[in-house]
Amino acid sequence: MKDPIVEEVRKARWEHARRFNFDLDAICEDLRRIQRTCGHQVVSFPPKRLESIAARGEHEEPHG
């Protein structure tokens, strides 16, 4: 089953990447520029330490 919202997001992401010739550094820099100039408050959280995640039992084994 295809979700039209997911398809729209994937299309937008692909078109954005194509604008930068799929150069990840250029794509990320453009996203940071958009983030700086969008006018919305940007919130970031400190990274979770792997050992604290495992201690809480949140670690899942990869499904194969």
- How many whole angstroms separate alpha carbon 44 and alpha carbon 39? 16
Burial class (CB in 10 A: 0-12, 13-18, 19+), 20: middle
pLDDT at position 1: 86
Q: Return the domain boundaries, the chain.
A: 4-55
- The chain-wide mean pLDDT, for the chain, equals 87
Q: What is the pLDDT of residues 28-50, one digit of tens each?
A: 999 999 999 999 998 889 988 88
Q: Identify the helix (H) or strand (E) that includes residue 12.
A: helix 4-19
